Amino acid sequence: MTSVPIHYYLILAGFLFSSGLLIVLMKRNIVFVLMGIELMLNAAHLNFAAFSRFDSKLDGQVMAVFSVVLAAAEAAIALAILLNIYKKHHTSDLEDLKELKN
Amino acid sequence: MNTGVWMILTLLLPLMGGMLAYTFRIQAARIATGFAFLALALSSLLLINGFNWSTRFLWIPEFHLGWRVDQLALVLCTLVLLISFLVHLFSVKYMHVHEHPRYFLKLGFFTTAMLGLLMADHLLLLFIFWEVVGFASYLLIGFYHEKKEAAKSAKWAFLTNRVADVALLGAILSLGFEQSFFLSELTAIPSVWIGAGLLIGAMGKSAQLPFSGWLPRAMTGPTPVSALIHAATMVAAGVYLMLRVGPFLPEVVLTCAAIVGALTAFFGAFTAVTQHDVKQVLAYSTVSQLGFMFLGIGVGAFESSFFHLWTHAFFKAGLFLAAGVLMHHVGTQDMRQMGGLGGSMKWLMTLHVICGMALAGFPLFSGFMSKEGILQATWSWAEQQTAAGYSEAHLVSYFAFFTLFLTAWYIARQVWMIYWTPSRTVASVEGSGYHWQMGIPLILLSIASLGIVQGFHVFSSSGWVMELAGFSLAAHAGSLIPFVSSGLVLIGFVHCYGLYGPRRFYVQHYAQSTYPPSIMGRLSYFGWYVDSLYDRVLSSGYVTVAKGLHWFDKKAVDGTVNAIGVSGVVFAKFLSLVDTYVVDGFVQLTVWISRQVGRLATRIQSANVQHQIAWLIFVLILLLVFLLF
Amino acid sequence: MTESVFFFLFSGMAVAGVLFMLFTRNVIHAAYGLVVVLLSVAALYVLLNAQFLAVVQLLMYAGGVVVLLVFGIMLTTRKQHGPPISGHRMVPLGVVAAGGFFGILATIILQQDFAWVPVESAMDQTKQIGMVFLTDHLVAFEFIAVVLLATLVGASLLAKKSSEND
């Protein structure tokens, strides 16, 4: 078999996940952070898909489909909240959104 | 007859007599005198029979002591007992009856101690008796202990002796461990230190120059005591020691003895010429004559020294007893208050003059014979030393001859002042009779001072006693010495008469005179300031040292105490500082640490979401690492 | 052989897109990067024999989520402030955290021995997945429907609130 071994996919998924994490930790813009979250979710989906290749029942794919749906729903809600926040504070910078005293 | 029992008995009889006298107070005088006579008789018998005895006995394990009674010791024992008996007899009437028990006890104790000293063979035994004799003399000098002067003099005598005895003890111990402790086993002593120690010890006992202060002071004791102790016996102990070890001493030590002797002789005579107290004159005279004896030993004339010791005992005791009789009748010791007594006390005057001539060394008297021996020996010694290159040796002989002149001078002065000058006494002399107890001893002693009694050849320098004591006769070729000395004595008498003769100006004012104003006179009167020098240097020096030590003690001790106190306070303050900074500091540190940890911990709970997420990831990583690896 | 070529191609695209997202400060540009990544991931799905999933990805993510995000960007920036710039913060900390996480993951993955054989699916995938939805994972399916309904209601509620505040 000359197919790509699964490790590669998994490593790639791991890389995507770490980068998503990095974006979440690093960026100041809320939307940017949301993007990072989407990236992380994608990494997980890729992981599922990689493993479902060896499954005759396609459980991994199913899981990934569900996850995609939920991710989309979550993105919608997040955006709604973002708009609310923007209305209130007139900023989308995480640095300025601090009400908890340090 | 050669057993030691008799000698031990002789030794103990005087002490027994004294103790019995103390016990039976009423008959004290008779008991004591009787025992003294018994002892004397016993000793004379032994002497006549040629007694010779030596023994060793065990004292402590591995350590023996010994007695030895040879001719010399026996002769001296007899001398001591004779003088002691005469003094006992004299004291019967001289001392008050209530004083008798204590007095005779002390006298007997002294006599026994002196005999023990003479009989000892072992050096340590001799040293023991040496000290006991010193103690006995302390008791007797301070007999009138209510008088402060007497107590002080007794102390002075004892202490001076003790100082000299340190050297003596050191020398005895070194000698004993080097050679032997037994006198009969001594051979030549090479060590100068040992010899010096022995010499110093003898000098202390015999009142030679550095240690001479106690003898004139000792005159505060009763006059018979002075006669016994300070004329005849105790002071002779030093000479006796020298006689015993002398032949074995190194040259240097003997030369020192000669020099010291000559100087002391000169010093004593020089001081005696200006004294006003009868007994003081005699005391300094004793110092001077002892110096002669030391001189004799130093030049090697042991037999002449011994002979002089023998004759000196008689005429000096006689002089002291005469002074005693004088004081008993006139009531004063001061010659300034006497004078013109020749008329009423003819008999006493005669005896006094006889003894005085003997002292001066006038031909036909005993003193002349013994002094000749010493002077001739000194001259030949000086000649020898000059031949060997030390021409200064003749200085010694010049001193000796000059002392002869001075001796004649002072004794003539005494005699004149008392008997022949116009009367200065306020009251006339009572014409009471003399007790035979006081007279007989005096007569006997005066007879013994005559030359003929001591030796048939009155112009020779030897007497029969020398043979008796085991010395060979002094053999000196006829020389000019006798004539020179006789001449000096005559000049002394004439010069004195020139100054102190009757109807002279000086004499008329004598009653008010104190000390001669000239430098020599003052030097003489105050005994060359030796005593005040000692006082200044030793006493003040000692006091200064004591004061210094006291100051130091105060500073050091108080300083230390204060320092301890201060250091205690300082330490306490330091501790409080430590408490404040260290202990409290620790507490503060823990507080600070917990605050920082708290701060650190709260930072996790930051307002920033991303921080929170970051911390979350961190912990997750840690968990994973922990679980997987 | 060809599989690996395509794999490296599309994974390279994905990585490039990710890196672009990381290093840019412009949010819009980052959205474009995200689109690239999503598309490459869809292609990878195809390689992994998950065609249905690839299509779903395209429809939902690239078509829906990204649009939403861009809407969000547009609505929350003011034009007069210039292009939306997002600064970086706690870079080292983030790098350490993310890097550490990636390191651990890589270590775990590389240590495993996945010796499986890929399975060829016999049936048409869409049909198969539809069958699975309605038989094995029915509850999840229904549940997702409920969630979507809730999302709908919630979003409209939130939107309504914001509109009331206006």
Confidence (pLDDT) at A72: 93
| C89/chain B closest Cα distance in angstroms | 9
**Of the ranges A44-53, B8-17, B230-239, the best mean pLDDT one:** A44-53
Q: Quick check: C37 pLDDT over 90? A: yes
Q: Is the pLDDT of residue C78 over 90?
A: no
Provide mean pLDDT across the span B336-356: 80
So what's the pLDDT on residue B32? Answer: 84
Secondary structure (3-state) at C26: strand
Distance CA B47, CA B68 (A): 14
Contact residues for B380 (Cβ-Cβ < 8 A; gap 6+): B299, B476
Nearest in space to C162 (alpha carbons), one of B362, A83, B177: A83
| More confident: B17 or B472 | B17
In a domain, A81, yes or no: yes
CA distances from B242 to B75, B199, B306, C47 (A): 16, 7, 10, 142
Pick the residue of C48, C71, C163, C166 with the most A CBs within 10 A to test the interface with A by mutation.
Answer: C48
Distance (Å, whole) CA C100 – CA C48: 28
Cβ–Cβ gap A101/B607 under 8 Å: yes
pLDDT of residue B516: 65
Task: Give the number of domains in chain A.
Answer: 1
Q: Per-residue confidence of chain A (102 residues) as pLDDT tens digits?
A: 457 888 899 999 999 999 999 999 888 888 999 999 999 999 999 999 999 888 888 888 999 999 999 999 999 999 999 988 888 888 888 877 777 555
pLDDT in the model for residue C127: 87
Q: Contacts for B428-437 with beta carbons within 8 Å, 24 or more apart?
A: B428/B344, B429/B329, B429/B330, B429/B341, B429/B344, B429/B345, B430/B329, B431/B344, B432/B329, B434/B325, B434/B347, B434/B348, B435/B93, B437/B89, B437/B90, B437/B92, B437/B93
Q: Residue B615's closest chain A neighbor by CA?
A: A25
B53-60 and B63-69 strand pairing: antiparallel
Residue C80: band (very low, low, confident or very high) from pLDDT cuts 50, 70, 90: low
What's the whole-number mean pLDDT along residues B48-69? 78
User: Mean per-residue pLDDT for B333-344?
Assistant: 75
| B231 has pLDDT over 80 | no
Backbone angles phi, psi at B63, to 5 degrees: -135, 120
Q: Give residue-wise pLDDT tens across range B264-290.
A: 898 888 888 888 888 988 999 999 999
pLDDT number for residue B110: 92
Would you say residue B51 has pLDDT above 90?
no
Which range marks the domain in which residue A71 is found? Answer: 6-94
Q: Which residue among B611, B621, B628 sits closest to C101, beta carbon to beta carbon?
A: B621
Q: Which subunits have 3 or more CB–CB pairs within 8 Å of chain C?
A: A, B
Place of tokens 């004063």: B332
Give the chain A residue nearest B607 (alpha carbons).
A100
Distance between CA B282 and CA B216 in Å, rounded? 9
Cα-based distances in Å from A15 to B626, C15, C98:
22, 8, 9
Q: What is the pLDDT of residue B433?
A: 62
**Which of B8-17, B504-513, B611-620, C102-111 is most confident?**
C102-111
Q: What burial class does residue B221 get, using C-beta atoms within 10 Å of its C-beta: 0-12 exposed, 13-18 middle, 19+ buried?
A: buried
Q: Which residue has the higher pLDDT, B80 or C93?
A: B80
Average pLDDT over residues B50-74: 79
| Chain A residues with beta carbon closer than 8 angstroms to that of B607 | 98-102
Within 8 A of B621 by CB-CB distance, chain C residues are 97, 100-101, 104
Residue B618 has its nearest CB partner, among C97, C107, C108, at C97
Q: What is the pLDDT of residue B375?
A: 87
Residue C129 has its nearest CB partner, among A27, A38, A61, at A61
- Conformational region of residue B488, where left means phi above 0, alpha means psi within -120 to 50, and beta covers everything else: alpha
pLDDT (tens digit, 9 = 90+) per residue, B84-113? Answer: 998 998 888 888 888 888 889 998 999 999
Give the pLDDT band of residue B424 (cuts 50, 70, 90): low
For B499-520, how does the pLDDT look when each residue is reduced to its tens digit (9 = 90+)?
766 555 565 566 666 666 666 6
Our CA-based measurement puts residue C44 at a distance from the nearest CA of chain A, in whole angstroms, of: 8
Tell me how close the Cα of C71 comes to any Cα of chain A, in angstroms.
9
**Distances C43 to B57, B545, C1, C56 between C-alpha atoms, Å:** 138, 118, 16, 12
Domain of A17, CATH number, reads 1.10.287.3510
Residue A50 included in any domain: yes
Share of chain B above pLDDT 70, in %: 88
Whether the pLDDT of residue C165 is over 70: the answer is no
Of the ranges B239-253, B340-354, B420-434, C41-55, the best mean pLDDT one: C41-55
Helix%, strand%, coil% for chain B, nearest 5: 75, 5, 20
A63 occurs within a structural domain: yes
Reported as a pLDDT band with limits 50, 70 and 90, residue B614 is confident
> Mean pLDDT across the stretch C92-109?
89
Q: Collect all residues of chain A within an 8 Å Cβ-Cβ radius of residue B605.
A: 100
- Tell me the residues of A at the B interface, defined by beta carbons under 8 Å apart: 21, 24-26, 33, 94-95, 98-102
Question: Is the model's pLDDT at B478 over the cut of 70?
Answer: no
Question: For all residues of chain B together, what is the average pLDDT?
Answer: 82
**What's the pLDDT at B511?**
61
The answer, yes or no, to whether residue C12 has pLDDT greater than 90, is yes
**Min Cα–Cα distance to chain C from B607, Å:** 14
Q: Does C90 touch chain B (CB under 8 A)?
A: yes
Lowest mean pLDDT, pick from B122-126, B445-449, C114-118:
C114-118
> For the CA atoms of C121, C123, C125, C130, what is the dihedral angle to 10 degrees?
-130
**Does residue A1 form part of some domain?**
no
Mean pLDDT, rounded, for B289-296:
90
| pLDDT averaged over every residue in chain C | 87
- By three-state DSSP, how is residue B122 classified? strand
Which tops the pLDDT comparison, B460 or A18? Answer: A18
User: How confident is the model over C38-45, as a mean pLDDT?
Assistant: 95
Facing C52 at nearest CB: one of A57, A61, A95: A61
pLDDT of B427 reads 47
Residue B66 CA to residue A27 CA, distance in Å, equals: 124
Report chain B's C-alpha Rg in angstroms. 38
Amino acid B431: pLDDT: 53
Query: First-to-last CA distance in chain B?
Result: 123
